[in-house]
């Protein structure tokens, strides 16, 4: 695993410097407004434990942000072919999914002829509602079993 940085991305560099400056400022504010005033009191041990927990999660946040910024994000090859039947299930094509999504709140203003002679928007809407009904049944089953 190598380090991946966009060297020509000047705005990204300035934004990351800005974000890390804000993170350090937030950590300094917690340290100097919460921890330091309580160091010579009876709460010293509890505040140090709280700050240790805070510092652990703060460092995890910074490390995960650095890791996210420095790892190669990967890519999809230009000649990659999506399997439309898997993406569009239970529809026949992506176009039917788009039509159902666009027509779900409109009524039947737009009509497209489907393969069975009925308007495609009605077919799509019924498929869209059957998908919603199936997901509701799965949710109900999960709620009843837990």
- Whether residue 79 lies inside any domain: the answer is no
Say if residue 18 is in the same domain as residue 53: yes
pLDDT per residue as tens digits for the range 16-69: 889 899 999 999 999 999 999 998 888 898 999 999 999 999 999 989 988 887
Using an 8 Å Cβ cutoff, are 94 and 82 in contact?
A: no
- Whether residue 3 lies inside any domain: the answer is no
- Whether residue 145 lies inside any domain: the answer is no
- Whether residue 142 lies inside any domain: the answer is no
pLDDT at residue number 97: 79
How many domains does the chain divide into? 2
The parent domain of residue 130 ranges over: 84-137
pLDDT at residue number 138: 46
Q: Is the pTM of this model over 0.95?
A: no
Alpha carbon of residue 90 to chain centroid: 24
pLDDT at residue number 113: 44
d(CA 139, CA 146): 11
Asked if the model's pLDDT at residue 111 lies above 50, the reply is no
């Amino acid at each position: 695993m190598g380090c991946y940085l966009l060297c020509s991305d000047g705005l990204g560099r300035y934004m990351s410097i800005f974000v890390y400056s804000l993170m350090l400022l937030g950590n300094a504010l917690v340290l100097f407004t919460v921890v330091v005033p309580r160091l010579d009191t009876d709460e010293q041990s509890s505040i140090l434990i709280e700050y240790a927990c805070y510092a652990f999660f703060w460092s995890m946040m910074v490390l995960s942000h650095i890791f996210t910024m420095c790892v190669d994000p990967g890519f999809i090859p230009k000649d990659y072919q999506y399997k439309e039947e898997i993406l569009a299930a239970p529809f026949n094509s992506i176009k039917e999914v788009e039509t159902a999504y666009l027509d779900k709140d409109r009524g039947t203003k737009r009509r497209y002829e489907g393969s069975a002679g009925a308007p495609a928007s009605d077919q799509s809407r019924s498929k869209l509602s059957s998908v919603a009904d199936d997901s509701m049944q799965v949710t109900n089953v999960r709620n009843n079993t837990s």
